Amino acid sequence: MGSILIETRDITKKFGDFTANDKINIAVEEGEIRAIIGENGAGKSTLMNMLYGILKPTSGEILFNGKPVILDSPLDAIKLGIGMVHQHFKLSPSLSIYENIVLGDETVKTLNVFGKHFKGFLVDQKKEMAEIQALVDKFNFNLDITAKVRDISIGAKQRVEILKMLYRNVNLLILDEPTAVLIPSEVEDLIERMQDLKKAGKTIIIITHKLNEVKMCADNITVIRGGRVIGTVRNDESTTDSDLAEMMVGRPVLLRVNKSDKKPGDKVVYRVSNLSAKDSDGKKIINDISFDIHENEVIGIAGVEGNGQTDLMLALTGLLDISEGSVSFNGEDITGLWPDELRRHKIGIVPEDRYRQGLCLGMPVSANLIAGMHGRWPFCVHGIMQNAPIKENKERLVEAFDIRLGSDDPPVGSLSGGNAQKVIIAREFSKHPQLLLVSQPTRGVDIGAIEFIHNEILRMRDKGAAILIFSSELSEVVGLSDKVYVMYKGEFVGIFKSDDVSFNELGLYMSGVKRMSKEEIAANG
């Protein structure tokens, strides 16, 4: 441990009257791994964006190596030695790894004209490759630097992003939610790489809301809530997950979901048989998917994002044409029905993209709470909308689902992620569905609301509903489900009982390393 590398003094950021960061003081020592945790909207990203020069502080100052600095842009930050890896990668898929790394900072051959050196315009690829290969070896990054970025895994892409920063000689590396897109084995690998970097004297700030990962890698943990620093603790045995969660939320929270002992019933509510679908080029994006959901049963679908889960959800909800196979609900064939017909069958749908498919942002909460049922009694009589029942419905659901509104009936777009999701949950769960198709129920939702939504899902299960859950959050899929299917490249490659499966095992299936045969899956399904 050495001197303090970066420090903020009373740094404040206001957006209009809203204070996103309120007099934040943090000091990170050289060579330390510091985790900054907090709920969505706590102000973590705002703080990091100020350290990286994307945002300018309203007041307060940033000290780097003990000297006050003014960062006007990320370029200034990189010059000082501050690098950041964003949650969403900024890579060019058609270029190779090393080309992505040097992009914007290429090594150029010098021209020798009569003994004078001029900067030329030809890129010295050999020298670049040698430099980057050296970096890869030094930090054990395990990359083939000539591979095209579009062909490599997400974990590898993230390593490329980190290398991009190391190539620019940064000393402080900020990682914004680095594990959100990774499978468990990749997370472990990332943590090992972080330890290597630390050994090489780099300082790392990692932003996250996943407590178990913080516990694995950080030296110190700073908790932010409501734009203020709640406290900084050393990461040792005396600091527990539930302590940290309580600091984040401001009240004790249940971290594990408590599933009831109720066993799934015998009655098959939902049966999907040999379902396939094609994209516009005629390529199969969903391939021969079959599963049953019984009464009182939650089926989870795990997988790295982009392996067909989105398409499967669209196909099941009537938004993507099914090319082969059938779907039945309580024995009735519902293959290829329109979404409104599905809804008439007491099927609740929580779509993946909350803000594009789930909610109409410009319309008030009351109008969003009747969407899909807007043509039915009591909201609509002979084609004419009835204001009183619509208002009454809003008041009842806002109360029952604890949706926090700023005013009487604001547009949904003004609500926080958690409250916006609760609007969808309230709408879909309140019509007593027998089947729920739920995708990414808690993405971008704060811990308090996650707890609430999980409990609601399990309550629906205990009331007899059949539920299908897609989630990229492994702990969520496994925690809520009775059985978990793993999806890889549009197919089911494994099935597990959720009470006896390890995350690592699931990770091997998710990454396509292991797979079960069709017969094995059918036998266990």
Q: Which residues bind another protein (CB under 8 A)?
A: 15-18, 20, 40-41, 43, 45-46, 49, 55, 317-319, 338-343, 349, 351, 353, 356-363, 367, 371-372, 374-375, 380, 383-385, 407, 413-414, 416, 444
Q: Is residue 378 reached through a cis peptide bond, with omega within 30 degrees of 0 on the bond before it?
A: yes
Closest approach of another protein to the CB of residue 418, in Å: 12
Nearer to another protein among residue 228 and residue 515 (C-beta): 228
CA atoms of 209 and 212, how far apart (whole Å): 9
Nearer to another protein among residue 231 and residue 375 (C-beta): 375
Closest approach of another protein to the CB of residue 359, in Å: 6
DSSP reduced 3-state for 180: coil
Ordered DSSP codes for 66-119? TEEE---SHHHHHHHTEEEE-SS----TTSBHHHHHHTTS--EEEEEETTEEEE
CA atoms of 492 and 521, how far apart (whole Å): 8
CA atoms of 437 and 15, how far apart (whole Å): 38
Closest approach of another protein to the CB of residue 49, in Å: 7
127: region left, alpha or beta (phi > 0 left; psi from -120 to 50 alpha): alpha
Closest approach of another protein to the CB of residue 18, in Å: 4
Name residue, tokens 């590898």: 156
CA atoms of 435 and 192, how far apart (whole Å): 43
Give φ, ψ of 366 to 5 degrees.
-60, -40
Name residue, tokens 């290429």: 106
- Asked whether 457 and 484 are in contact (CB, 8 A), the reply is no
Nearer to another protein among residue 386 and residue 475 (C-beta): 386
Virtual torsion, Cα 231, 249, 447, 8, nearest 10 deg = -30
Virtual torsion, Cα 382, 383, 387, 389, nearest 10 deg = 60
Closest C-alpha to 420, from 435, 405, 440, 408: 405
Count of CA atoms in the C-beta half-sphere (13 A) of 19: 12
Please state, in angstroms and as integers, the Cα–Cα distance from residue 470 to each residue in 307, 477, 480, following that order.
12, 7, 11
Amino acid identity at 336: G
Nearer to another protein among residue 193 and residue 443 (C-beta): 443
Closest approach of another protein to the CB of residue 505, in Å: 33
Nearer to another protein among residue 45 and residue 511 (C-beta): 45
Nearer to another protein among residue 88 and residue 256 (C-beta): 88
What is residue 262's DSSP assignment? P
Nearer to another protein among residue 123 and residue 371 (C-beta): 371
Nearer to another protein among residue 309 and residue 317 (C-beta): 317
Nearer to another protein among residue 118 and residue 338 (C-beta): 338
Please state, in angstroms and as integers, the Cα–Cα distance from residue 316 to each residue in 166, 325, 472, following that order.
45, 11, 18
Closest approach of another protein to the CB of residue 484, in Å: 25
Closest approach of another protein to the CB of residue 17, in Å: 4
Q: Which residues, listed in sequence order, are joined to residue 35 by a DSSP beta bridge?
A: 206, 221
Both tokens of 251, joined, read 């009240």
Residues 6+ apart with CB under 8 A from 195: 217
CA atoms of 485 and 63, how far apart (whole Å): 50
Amino acid identity at 378: P
Closest approach of another protein to the CB of residue 196, in Å: 31
Nearer to another protein among residue 325 and residue 339 (C-beta): 339
Closest approach of another protein to the CB of residue 349, in Å: 7
Closest approach of another protein to the CB of residue 94, in Å: 27
Closest approach of another protein to the CB of residue 15, in Å: 4
Nearer to another protein among residue 374 and residue 396 (C-beta): 374
- Asked whether 139 and 189 are in contact (CB, 8 A), the reply is no
CA atoms of 421 and 445, how far apart (whole Å): 8
Closest approach of another protein to the CB of residue 188, in Å: 28
Closest approach of another protein to the CB of residue 436, in Å: 15
Nearer to another protein among residue 109 and residue 344 (C-beta): 344
Nearer to another protein among residue 16 and residue 282 (C-beta): 16
